[in-house]
Amino acid sequence: MLCGCAAGAARDPNSLVILEAADGATLNPLFSTDAASALYEQFIFDPLVNVGDDFKPIPWLATAWRSSVNHLHWTVDLRRDVHWSDGVPFTSKDVVWTWQAQLDPATGFPYLGQFDYIASVRASGPSTVEFTLSQPNALFESQALNASILPEHILGKIPRRQLRLSAFGEHPVGTGPFFLERWRHDEEISFTRNPRWWHGPVTVPRIAVRIELNDQARLDAMQEGSGDVLDGLGTSGYAILQQQAPKLRLLHLPDLYSFFIYTNLRRLGLDDLHVRQAMLYGWDRRAVVRGLLHGDAIVATGVVPIALRLWYDPNVRRYDYDPARAQDLLDAAGWPKGNDGIREKNGHRLAFELLLTGADAATEDLAAEFQSDMRAIGVAITVRSLDFATFLTETQSLHYDLALGGWGGVPDPDQFTLLESKQIPPTGNNLMSYSNPTVDRDVTLGLRALEYSERKALYDSMQRVTAEDLPVLFYINTYYRAAFNPRVRVSVKDVLPDQYVFRDVYAWRLDR
Amino acid sequence: METRPLTAYIARRLAGAIPLLLLISLISYGLMGLAPGGPTAILSQQARSLTPAARHAYEVALGLDKPWYVQYFYWLKELIVHGSLGNSFVDQRPVLARIAEKLPITVELLSLALLLTLVIAIPIGIRAAVKRDSFFDNASTAIALIGYGVPVFWLGILLIDVFAMHLRWLPGSGINSVGREGDPLDLLRHLILPAFTLAIVSVAGWLRYQRASMLDVLDEPYVQTARSKGLPERVVLYRHALRNALLPMITLLGLQLPGLVGGAYFVEYIFSIPGMGYLGINSIFQRDYPTVMGITMLSALMVILGNLLADVLYGAADPRIRYD
């Protein structure tokens, strides 16, 4: 009989084996948009400013940075002891080239819109760079200065329009703690340590990221000890490892994502605030969390996830399950029940279609429960499941009523492109067509303010107003879960969720 | 068999394949272009603040700003003039390089599936013919037809559930265990369940053909003569009858190939095997048009060449066949 286990498999004790569900697309940060590529890039490249504890910016390739009084001019001092992996010294030319390439539309940098407030970047010496902004931006330090810096001496020779097709994405040259060793797409990508890294010795000799497309295979590899870190565990996988692999160290902390049901406010019925409020009162989200999600999520109370402790405002209007109140709201708003139990006004039935994507059994169960809860208060819901690209096209072209989705992943409360009234597609991602002057002011000034107290007041206001307006029906905040082999010596309490898990992997230690 | 008529025959068949391939490419590109969703939808979700200008620049860079038939024309021109299938929208690498990485594992899976199919179908087909109308004949036919009627995705999931999840005899996904990369035995263990899934579905066709072919041959005078000479039944069956009964099976190879290739794509996806099928299905979800087209064309070419090879082999095996 053949055995399905891999026990006894030869294992390189010097390799940190990370298990991932999907491979990255490219190692060229100018064109990468997926999470796996971002993971690999942090091994190879360095930013000017890195992410420290509590997501605060810390010096990296930049030793210091300061702004003018009006926050429109920033001067960044660079380290002088850094070399690219091919031995060429790192200078301000690299920073200037990286930013000029990113800001040039000919390059096709997908995040160009996020940095359109950067007017110019120039070198004022071999180790000093000046940024000029068209308006102050609170994300300049945490996002712009956190971008990977690329080698001018290699990429500068390629016309910008041709950069997309260059082989750099397969053969990168960086200043980071690791070199690319080998990449077998959809199977494994490996990195070896940079022995001359400017930051100091790298304690992990080698990283092998194994792409295991199947959930069970990743769990098996952790249980058998052939995997060291399982990043981004699902609810059921976490429960299995908790029961069956007591030796593993498990990480479980609130992540930076919020999930909602988007409402298209251009649809008759959904444009009525009482209807949206009634739908949230009539949706038993606690029962969904308790039942379908085994208690492994937090009922969301607003647009900012609870994990952003510095920004999350709990003092907003709450919508605890109250179907009687939901019915009262709908009655008061002039939506009486028709013969079939579905409410209607002026011949228009309160009937909507809910779009889902990537629907697994749990999501479909969730949709069924939502459907049932809504039916109970007189709102008819039909469900349509779509592939991701079609789902996005339908929501971005506003051809939908309700859609289950989410946003987040960044350690900042900024919601400008999601809630500001001019960000309705095709300009931005305000898929709800939401418009409120107070929120417009909050998200606009929130981006321009640099003081924490000032920003906090603006984002508190944003959270209060959106909790009243309900442009989205708040669903859940999720947890980030990961599993660590005990041979990996890392302080789990210091680990940040999501893409920040490996931010200090160079300092981890491996027991033999 | 003369060489000249055969060469001319192959040339004629290959020339005839060109319009067929063009038609396939046009239909595939058209379907893709008309399908809802596109590469920019995914990009604007990933890069949340993709401005209309940045989106337009991206579309221009990839040629997506033009109608699908114009995009098709450029794609075709690139293929004919430069022999290039273009670059992937996802990782910007040449499509040919992406396919070349994945092709070996798909070929390995198909080969193993075909081997299993033959090993199962041929002996059972022979025995069913020899024991015509017996319980064995009826039962084997019924079981094979059930296998034929089962959807490949359902069967794959069932086998994973039983043999990988519950019994834990075999791995249910991937092509190797972590830490055992490059180990051929480990690869084989990973390919057994997906290959069986494909084999079970195609066994019925082979079994029925083998049975019918054997029955035809058993009625031939030379088999009767061999029997009347007092030769043992084993010698009659395997030395005289089987050799001729196997000939029509070569044709079946060509006929079965399209189903096998199509089935392999589903099986790769179900078993998380990073082969051509997995790449193809992911590329469809990602709206990576150049990769989808590359895989479609290569699959079509494989099927056409498979059919041609079957015809040529049949001619080689049976001297009565002429290529006029």
Whole-number pLDDT of residue A1: 31
Whole-number pLDDT of residue A5: 38
Return the residue in A12, A33, A226, A447 with the most chain B beta carbons within 10 A, the one to mutate for interface testing.
A33
Chain A window 33-52: which residues touch B at a Cβ cutoff of 8 Å?
33-34
pLDDT band at A440 (very low <50, low <70, confident <90, very high): very high
Let me know: does B72 contact B297? Beta carbons within 8 Å. Answer: no
Pairwise CA distance, residues A41 & B82, whole Å: 33
Residue B147 lies in a domain: yes
Burial string for A87-108 (b: 16+ CB within 10 Å, else e) reads eeebbbbbbbbbbbbbbebebb
**Which whole number is the average pLDDT over A407-413?**
88
Q: Do A429 and B168 touch (CB under 8 A)?
A: no
Closest CB to B43 among A33, A185, A187: A33
Sign (positive or negative) of CA dihedral A328, A333, A335, A336:
positive
Whole-number pLDDT of residue A151: 98
Q: Do A213 and B90 touch (CB under 8 A)?
A: no
Whole-number pLDDT of residue A235: 86
Between B238 and A302, residue with greater pLDDT: A302
**Residue B90 near chain A (CB below 8 Å):** yes
**Residue A169 near chain B (CB below 8 Å):** yes
**Residue A361 near chain B (CB below 8 Å):** no
**Residue B31 near chain A (CB below 8 Å):** no
Whole-number pLDDT of residue A9: 43
Residue with tokens 């959270």: A463
Query: In what helix (H) or strand (E) does residue B31 lie, and over which residues does it extend?
Result: helix B3-34
Chain A partners within 8 Å of B165 (Cβ): 216
Q: Do B41 and A392 touch (CB under 8 A)?
A: yes
Between A105 and B55, residue with greater pLDDT: A105
Query: In what helix (H) or strand (E) does residue B191 lie, and over which residues does it extend?
Result: helix B184-218
Q: Is the pLDDT of residue B324 over 80?
A: no
Pairwise CA distance, residues A512 & A213, whole Å: 27
Chain B partners within 8 Å of A396 (Cβ): 41, 44-45
Let me know: does A273 contact A470? Beta carbons within 8 Å. Answer: yes
Residue B87 lies in a domain: no
CATH number at residue B182: 1.10.3720.10
Residue B323 lies in a domain: no
Chain A partners within 8 Å of B54 (Cβ): 105, 108-110, 112-113
Both B250 and B199 in a single domain? yes
Both B176 and B281 in a single domain? yes
Q: What is the DSSP string of B83-104?
A: ----B-TTT--BHHHHHHHHHH
- Residue where one domain finishes, among candidates B82, B111, B137: B82
Return the residue in B43, B49, B60, B183 with the most chain A beta carbons within 10 A, the one to mutate for interface testing.
B49
A419 min Cα distance to partner chain B (Å): 12
B318 min Cα distance to partner chain A (Å): 42
Residue B240 lies in a domain: yes
User: What is the chain A residue with the closest CA to B160?
Assistant: A216
Q: How many domains does chain B divide into?
A: 2
Query: What tokens does B323 get?
Result: 């290529």
Give me chain A's average pLDDT, please.
92
Closest CB to A227 among B169, B178, B189: B178
Pairwise CA distance, residues A280 & A489, whole Å: 44
Whole-number pLDDT of residue A433: 97
**Which whole number is the average pLDDT over A381-385?**
95
CA Rg, chain B, in Å? 24
Both B55 and B136 in a single domain? no
State whether ipTM is beyond 0.90. Answer: no
**Residue A468 near chain B (CB below 8 Å):** no
Cβ-count burial of A238 within 10 angstroms (0-12 exposed, 13-18 middle, 19+ buried)?
A: buried
**Residue A19 near chain B (CB below 8 Å):** yes
Lowest mean per-residue pLDDT among A278-282, A349-353, B159-163, B234-238: B234-238
Closest CB to A389 among B41, B170, B178: B41
Between B46 and A398, residue with greater pLDDT: A398
**Which whole number is the average pLDDT over A91-102?**
97
Whole-number pLDDT of residue A3: 34
Highest mean pLDDT among A262-266, A290-294, A497-501, B32-36: A262-266
Residue B36 lies in a domain: yes
Query: Looking at this protein, which amino acid is placed at residue A155?
Result: L
Chain B window 39-58: which residues touch A at a Cβ cutoff of 8 Å?
39, 41-55, 57-58
Whole-number pLDDT of residue A6: 38
Whole-number pLDDT of residue A7: 36
Q: Do B49 and A428 touch (CB under 8 A)?
A: yes
Peptide bond into A426 cis (omega under 30): yes
Q: Do A4 and B169 touch (CB under 8 A)?
A: yes
End-to-end alpha-carbon separation of chain A, Å?
Answer: 32
**Which whole number is the average pLDDT over A346-370?**
90
Q: Do B37 and A387 touch (CB under 8 A)?
A: yes
**Which whole number is the average pLDDT over B62-87?**
90
- Residue where one domain finishes, among candidates B34, B54, B82: B82
Chain B window 249-308: which residues touch A at a Cβ cutoff of 8 Å?
271-272, 274, 278-279, 285-287
Residue B93 lies in a domain: no
pLDDT digits (tens, 9 = 90+) for A269-326: 999 999 999 999 999 999 999 998 889 999 999 999 998 989 999 999 999 999 999 9
Both B222 and B257 in a single domain? yes
Q: In this complex, how many residue pairs, one in chain A and one in chain B, have their CB atoms less than 8 Å apart?
A: 173
Return the residue in A1, A2, A215, A422 with the most chain B beta carbons within 10 A, the one to mutate for interface testing.
A2
User: What is the chain A residue with the closest CA to B268?
Assistant: A213
Q: Do B164 and A396 touch (CB under 8 A)?
A: no
B273 min Cα distance to partner chain A (Å): 8
Both B168 and B141 in a single domain? yes
Pairwise CA distance, residues A197 & A177, whole Å: 6
Whole-number pLDDT of residue A429: 86
Between B320 and A307, residue with greater pLDDT: A307
Query: What tokens does B322 get?
Result: 């002429």
Between A10 and B187, residue with greater pLDDT: B187
Q: Do A217 and B179 touch (CB under 8 A)?
A: no
Between A42 and B208, residue with greater pLDDT: A42
Both B300 and B154 in a single domain? yes
Chain A partners within 8 Å of B90 (Cβ): 25
Both B33 and B131 in a single domain? no
Pairwise CA distance, residues B296 & B307, whole Å: 17
Chain A partners within 8 Å of B45 (Cβ): 392, 396, 429
SS3 (DSSP) at A400: coil
Q: Do A108 and B61 touch (CB under 8 A)?
A: yes
**Which whole number is the average pLDDT over A470-485?**
95
Both B77 and B116 in a single domain? no
Closest CB to A6 among B47, B170, B178: B178
A173 min Cα distance to partner chain B (Å): 17
Residue with tokens 């494989």: B302
User: What is the chain A residue with the closest CA to B178?
Assistant: A226
**Residue A6 near chain B (CB below 8 Å):** yes
Both B180 and B108 in a single domain? yes
Whole-number pLDDT of residue A359: 65
Give me chain B's average pLDDT, please.
85
**Which whole number is the average pLDDT over B283-294?**
91
Q: Do B172 and A214 touch (CB under 8 A)?
A: yes
Chain A window 403-462: which residues touch B at a Cβ cutoff of 8 Å?
407, 417-418, 426-429
Residue B91 lies in a domain: no
pLDDT digits (tens, 9 = 90+) for B119-158: 999 889 988 988 888 999 899 888 888 888 888 888 988 9
Pairing verdict, β A344-345 and A298-299? unpaired
- Residue where one domain finishes, among candidates B82, B109, B127: B82
Both B226 and B275 in a single domain? yes
Q: Do B44 and A216 touch (CB under 8 A)?
A: no
Q: What is the DSSP letter of B237?
A: I
Both B59 and B145 in a single domain? no
User: What is the chain B residue with the closest CA to A394?
Assistant: B37
Q: Do A396 and B44 touch (CB under 8 A)?
A: yes
Both B178 and B40 in a single domain? no
Chain B partners within 8 Å of A108 (Cβ): 54, 57-58, 61
Pairwise CA distance, residues A275 & A273, whole Å: 5
pLDDT digits (tens, 9 = 90+) for A485-505: 999 998 777 788 888 899 999
**Which whole number is the average pLDDT over B161-171?**
86
pLDDT digits (tens, 9 = 90+) for A123-160: 999 999 999 999 999 999 999 999 999 999 999 999 99
Q: What is the DSSP letter of A16?
A: E
Whole-number pLDDT of residue A2: 33
Q: Is the pLDDT of residue A4 over 50?
A: no
Q: Do A221 and B278 touch (CB under 8 A)?
A: no
Pairing verdict, β A229-230 and A15-20? parallel
Between B1 and A243, residue with greater pLDDT: A243
**Residue B100 near chain A (CB below 8 Å):** no
Q: Note down the domain range covering B186.
A: 98-317
Between B34 and A1, residue with greater pLDDT: B34
Residue B235 lies in a domain: yes
Contacts of A408 (CB under 8 A, 6+ apart): A255, A256, A257, A258, A305
Q: Is the pLDDT of residue B238 over 50?
A: yes
Q: Do B177 and A226 touch (CB under 8 A)?
A: yes
Whole-number pLDDT of residue B46: 59
